[in-house]
Copies of this chain bind each other. A is one copy, B any other.
Amino acid sequence: MIFVRENGRTIPKEDKIFAISNRAKEAIAKYGKENVINGTVGALFDDEGKLIVLKSVDRVFKSLTPDEYAPYAPIGGTPEFKAAIKKAAFGSYEPKGFTEAVATPGGTGGVRNTVSNFSAFGDRVLVADWFWAPYKTICQEIGRDIQTFKFFNEEGGFNIDDFKANVLELLEMQESLVIIINSPAHNPTGYSLTVNDWRNIKAIFEKTPQDKHVALLVDAAYIDFAGDEEQYRQFLPVLDEMPENVLPIVGYSASKTFTMYGMRCGAMICIAKTPAIAQEFKQACEFSSRGSWSNCNRAPQTIIAKIYADPELKKMVDEERAEYRDMLLRRGRAFEKAAKECGLEMVPFDAGFFASVPMPNPDEVAAELEKENIFLIPLAKGIRTSVASVPEDKCKLIPARIKAAMERLAEK
């Protein structure tokens, strides 16, 4: 670097995911989409390979007047948006704690503001060893780093013991701790923490030093694509019952739920034990927003507020989404079944956009698969397939092809 100060960051020459995604697009242009599998994209596509945008949402978008999209929104979001996004995040559950919502650009902004406000420079943020790579980017960008715990135990469940060991270690080293748990329908594995997993987490915090504060960010970006909306929100009461030194924050993304990825809308919502804690959450997160991106895009705030103000419209949106969600769930199950049939080990999977396969040499296997026009994302500990962007018939084919590629490489 010549002018750039790296400030402890590891700045790559190019974004690996975008590079693979570009090669996939080139292959489609060259060989036709029927001859290419593009499992790289983190967005929901229909079986014809077209991005799904809910028609009901598009209709509201088209109806917006200049007053509804052109003025600056308040830094923390419009009041109508804040009310609506809490309902979107919590469903029928009404938290006992004090909630404040702050608008963010997608889910990313909520992660960024949580790290910035609830950790100190130099701190480590605890994430699972199977993690969404930008968590590390976000931490490094503001002088923090990540530490990982083993997400799964030998039985294929949430590894509460390794989680506990890491929490204790970091609480010993630091004045406070930020933990990010991506669930339900975890990216990149598709695992969903059970209500019992959450109870075990709560039990741990009841025994850790009560003088140290923990911000527990639940990155729930995929909550509306895991299965029944109410069932997958049954962990929320456990968040509400966390001990006093734990501040649960729900990170919610409108990208997936309302199929408006490119509009950059999301929110971070606290569930605080006292009004004072909720108030300082709002103040500090709005300060961070002001000092990073200022206010957020108004159009999606208006759209979501309109959906929640109109029960008929809300019903249409929900029904439309449910159909696509069921399509997504079928794809995930088809992938899982095919893996079982060919004897390919998967990382514990439940639902959502992604499924992962563990292996020691993901970069090599991904490169091998590219030779036969299958484009998947190599991670540190395995390969991620976006079943969200691949039709069901192709989801059935992928596991055997991964297995064959692994075996070819093992023979070399």
Enumerate chain A interface residues (CB-CB to B < 8 A).
1-5, 7, 9, 11-15, 18, 43, 51, 53, 58, 61-62, 64, 66-67, 69-75, 105-106, 108-109, 112, 116-121, 134, 137-143, 175-176, 213, 215, 247, 255, 259-264, 276-277, 280-281, 283-284, 286-288, 290-299
Which residues on B sit within 8 Å (CB–CB) of A61?
Answer: 64, 69
Which residues on B sit within 8 Å (CB–CB) of A66?
Answer: 51, 53, 58
Q: How far is the CB of A150 from chain B (nearest CB, A)?
A: 25
- Pairwise interchain contact A293-B294, C-beta atoms closer than 8 A: no
- Pairwise interchain contact B293-A112, C-beta atoms closer than 8 A: yes
Give the docked Cα–Cα distance between A62 and B61 (Å): 8
- Pairwise interchain contact A5-B286, C-beta atoms closer than 8 A: no
Which residues on B sit within 8 Å (CB–CB) of A293?
Answer: 105-106, 108-109, 112, 264, 292-293
Which residues on B sit within 8 Å (CB–CB) of A291?
Answer: 112, 134, 137-142
Interface centre among A11, A15, A175 (most CB of B within 10 A): A11
- Pairwise interchain contact B263-A70, C-beta atoms closer than 8 A: yes
- Could you list 7 further interchain pairs (A-B, Cβ under 8 angstroms) beyond the known A11-B283, A62-B62? A4-B117, A4-B283, A7-B120, A12-B283, A13-B283, A53-B70, A137-B287
Which residues on B sit within 8 Å (CB–CB) of A142?
Answer: 142-143, 291
Q: How far is the CB of A175 from chain B (nearest CB, A)?
A: 8
Give the docked Cα–Cα distance between A329 and B387 (Å): 56
- Pairwise interchain contact A72-B53, C-beta atoms closer than 8 A: no
| Nearest B-chain residue to A294, judged by Cβ | B108
Checking B15, B53, B261, B299 against A290 with a beta-carbon cut-off of 8 angstroms, the contacting residue is B15
| Nearest B-chain residue to A279, judged by Cβ | B13
Checking B176, B247, B262, B296 against A299 with a beta-carbon cut-off of 8 angstroms, the contacting residue is B262
Give the docked Cα–Cα distance between A228 and B312 (Å): 51
A70-B53, A134-B291, A292-B109 known; A4 vs B141 contact (CB < 8 Å): no
